[in-house]
Amino acid sequence: MKRVVYNIGGLSCATCALNAQKKLSSLSGVTDVKVNFASAKVEIVYNESEIGFADMRAALKSVGYQLMDSDDSTVSNSSVYWAMAFAMPVMIIGMFFMNMPYANEIMWVLSTPVVLWFGRRFFINAWKHAKSGYASMDTLIAISTGVAYIFSVFNVIYPKFWYDRGLEAHVYFEAAAVIIAFILLGKFLEEKAKGKASSAIKSLMGLRPKSVTVLRDINGSEIEEIVDLELVTQGDMVLVKPGERIAVDGVVIKGSSYVDESMLTGESIAVPKRVDDRVFAGTINQKGSFVFVAQGVGEDTVLSNIIKMVELAQGSKAPVQNLVDKIASVFVPVVIIIAITTFVLWNIFGGVNSFSIALKSMITVLVIACPCALGLATPTAIMVGIGRGAKRGILIKDAVSLELSKKIERVVLDKTGTLTEGRPVVVNEFWYIENEYNRGLLYSIERLSEHPLADAIVNHLINKGFDATNSSNSNNIVIEEFENITGMGVKAIVNGLLYYVGSARFIESYTANVLSKANIDKANSVVWFASEAEIIAQFSLTDNIKSTSKAAVEALHLAGIKVTMLTGDSESAANSVAAKVGITDYQFNLLPHDKSEYVREMQRRGEVVAMVGDGINDSAALAQADVSIVMGSGTDIAMDVAQMTIVSSDLLKVWEAIKLSKESVKIIKQNLFWAFIYNIIGIPIAAGLLYPFTGFLLNPMIAGAAMAFSSVSVVLNSLRLYRTK
């Protein structure tokens, strides 16, 4: 199955998005479709062996929509300008100079190109939609302006029809022309505003340089060659000069510098880069030069994955959108029924000018109704919220997570790599049976483990003088079987003997009582090395607490959110970290399923729980939590499970993500209120509700302007999220 995101043109309202989604979903080979009206994008999961892009494009074209590879605007500057240039004189004549000679004929001439040329897409789409058995915003516009224009043309050509009946032959050219002009202007402004809403994607895409300096070995000489980004492959040696943007992911092999990684982390402080350090596409080199080996290229870079994640997230639907979609699906047919009913009732009860009032009211109802604002209310806020998060180093996987995060009542924190740096160091070692063979044995076992404590022990052994290249030390040691017991430790068979490295709890389940021999260390984490028969060594390790951990815990507490720390480490190590960061609720010596069970228990109590972790041992708890958050330094497994990723691993970003959720939901509620109240108030007034009492009848031109700018106001309100601190 292939998952892709395309641009989609021709969406005039939320109803269009739903109908386009239905059309694509009905195609053989398409398994999942999500159309986002706000971003004008569609996410499609399909079987390439059954259907292709051309087939899907043709299917959408048949119902009036365009499947596109680019972000081309559906409303051009020139069409808006020309439409307004023709429509404004029509409006002025219609309002102030109706008694001038040939006024009707002049308005006819000026309005014709506006209606039949600049507004032709409304009629074409309405016809295609009608053939497919549904109505849309284009249907409302086409009916209202079409009726007004045709009625006016008839009255210019054959005014006698009405004069013979004692009535005035009114024309509505100004209504037809100005409505279309205002709607085109509104669509243009809406697209501009939506472009700002999706600026996160565009800015991320703009971070990729178009060319790269690659070092080539030609006849024994190292030659610099500038090539297009698409031509860079894994293994290429890439030269980065001062001030240049890094093009692909890789590992430094020569030189050093400082790199601005704010596009990934949201942090402005440059990060030092030396040999063996990783560098990422889109980041900016500072003063030094260095060479790195390309590892992640094309779609495999961290930047490309972030773009994909943000794009998919912005296209996802929040739970509240389901209600909006149901309303939008019946909105247009209901409006058409209201308009017809309005026309009939005014014809019956309107008195002398009943037909004129009926026609004008019907047109106004059709024009003022705006499913656009309704359709844009939620997705624009989601787009801006997720985009805002991405710029701040908070990657949100879907709209559900963004909406749900505001409800978080308890944050459960892992210790190592979440509250602490995740880079432990050995501060003390004690060998019960010390020799080079045992050192080599421990080195050979621990280097197979991905746990940070294992890395720390391996580095400690090397720093203490252990020579891994000496064949007498480790090269003759063959690991016959190796097994990682998540949250506990590792075991391995060497020369037919079973060895263990891990926690006291783990070791004691296989060998003699550890604590009876222990050199007690209550302040640090302790790792044991043992065989089936005896204890071989004991290591004490410490892990520095992150500079922002205490502030993050305080911020969560001040917000009324409960904070719990869960760790597989010892009581003493857990107590030490908890005391330093201000956590009073913590548990220790936990296995992965213990963490998951704790989260489940809190959920049984009715709490909305967020789990924050970084390792494989956290994945079960992350999967169980209502909102799962993983640190950017975490494992791939943890990231796959998580709904949010904190790229910089800064715990303060967790509180920032919760604040962003609160602000996003607030904006969504404001947008929905405006969209609903606009239609609830506007449609009755348009139908002439006030006319019997005040003599006021809403002008269709004013209705057109109100409809056009209602959707723009919703988008502009969503853009306020960019000001969230």
Contact (Cβ atoms closer than 8 angstroms) between residue 368 and residue 699: no
Pair 7, 69: CB distance under 8 Å: yes
Find the helix or strand (DSSP H, E) in which 366 lies: helix 354-368
Structure tokens at 123: 């009629």
Q: How far from the centroid of its chain's Cα atoms is residue 262's Cα?
A: 18
Cα-to-chain-centroid distance, residue 392: 13
Measured CA angle at 24 (ends 22, 28), to 5 deg? 115
Contact 600, 592 (CB under 8 A): no
Strands 425-431 and 535-542: antiparallel
First-to-last CA distance in the chain?
A: 40
Looking at 236, 260, 414, 650, which residue is catalytic? 414
What type of residue sits at position 480? Answer: E
Element (H, E) at 241: none
Q: How far is CA 223 from CA 218, 267, 456, 623, in A?
A: 7, 35, 39, 50
Q: Examine the residue annotation and report whether 626 is marked as an active-site residue of this protein.
A: no
From the list 221, 231, 283, the residue with the least C-alpha distance to 252 is 283
Token output for 655: 């509180």
Please tell me the distance from the alpha carbon of residue 415 to that of residue 564, in angstroms, as a whole number.
Answer: 10
- Cα 548 to Cα 653: distance, rounded to the nearest angstrom: 10
Q: Which residues contact 102 (CB under 8 A, 6 or more apart)?
A: none
The Cα–Cα gap between 551 and 574 comes to 18
Q: How far apart are CA 655 and CA 7, in angstroms?
A: 34
For residues 597 and 590, give the distance between their C-alpha atoms in angstroms, rounded to a whole number: 10
Residues annotated as catalytic (active site), given as ranges = 414
